Amino acid sequence: MSSYISMFNPIKMGMDWFFYKSAKDYIKKPSIESIRKYELLILCIDGVLKNNNEAIPLAVETFNKLKNELNTKLCLLTNECRYPPQTIRKQLISMGFDIDTSVDIVSASSLVLITLSNILKLRHINNASNLEKETENYNSGYISRKRYKRIVNTEDAELNKAIRHTKFGIIADDELFNYLANSITKKYKHATFYHIKKDLSTNNIPENLDYIVIGTLENSNKLDQYLNNSVQWLLANPNVAIILAHTDTNTKIEDTLCPISVLNSIKEHGKKDNSEFKLPDDTISVGKPYCSEFIDKFMERYKLDKSGSARLNILVVGDDYDCDMKFAENVGCDKCLVLTGNITSDELVKQKYNISGVEYIIPDVSYLAL
């Protein structure tokens, strides 16, 4: 009886009603004036401008107004690691977004390409007088300090040559492999690429791999073969470093495993035959939220100046707290959370996320300009 009474306690019900908040109570819309004050808007793509292959309502009109009427500097950032920026640009243009060359698109695929390029740049230092300086100044997530010192301090000519001939294994779908291999080998002739899908025979396992890049894998009837072969690659290359395209688990691509899922699946397959199987310790993660070192490129590209301030005069607009908002936090930018993607109104009301540090929360991107 007491539990029955407490269920319908009028005082408790009244207090619950009084303190109840709806999603609209959390909405914090920026003014046009405040938008104009930002030197750059970094817009995440999925969940903000589009969902799957369709533009979010009013996203096209908002983007085009920001660009053409408010003259806002815009940059697009996405954890898409299958396609190069050119392909993403064409897709968005076909939806009606006015994206010319003044709008940069930074994808996880392009961040991986930048990572590989920087690795090769470091590995091909040939001016001995600069080696000590390069080692002292080295501060990058592209390659571990231990591995870097091994490269620059090698005196044996043959070993040095072998080190400088870099071998990459790619565990990803065809698009990422083709983008990386074609782009890199145009400049660096001593880079060799191996693709997990090209040869499933365990008799042709590449050895002496320096890096294994992990992107997305299609969940097809050959997935187990790809994963089993991946295990063989890792067993044959115990000192390899892994480059993970991104760690975002909320990016939903139908019938496709995201990079972190691919990595976990490889681990599971390895432990089936050997309980002591483990993944390499040397792992580099690129993409949001771990691409903070690339903010220097944004600052250089858009002539931004931090001037000793703790924060950049940049607004990051995203739909995911753990990915987009964490990225903004990592690089010291203002945050705008949009409720058309991974975070729902119900989750907002339940205070599942710590939104106290989020400057703006809007139902959709149109609240930025329309």
**SS3 call for 362:** strand
pLDDT tens digits, 304-356: 776 667 778 899 999 999 899 999 988 889 999 999 988 877 777 666 677 88
Which residue, among 299, 245, 341, 258, has the nearest Cα to 42 in the 3D structure? 299
**The CATH classification of domain 26-79+289-368, taken from the options 3.30.420.10, 3.40.50.1000, 3.30.470.10, 1.10.287.70:** 3.40.50.1000
What would the two tokens of residue 111 be? 């961040």
Q: CATH 3.40.50.1000 in the chain, residues?
A: 26-79+289-368
Complete DSSP assignment for 296-312 = HHHHHHTT---TT-SS-
For residue 314, the cross-strand partners are 40
Each residue's pLDDT tens digit, 93-151: 999 999 998 899 999 999 999 889 888 877 665 444 454 554 444 444 445 555 555 55
pLDDT value at residue 88: 96
Residue 290: strand, helix, or coil: coil
pLDDT for the residue numbered 125:
55
pLDDT over 50 (residue 2): no
Which residue type does 217 have?
L
Structure tokens at 249: 């688990």
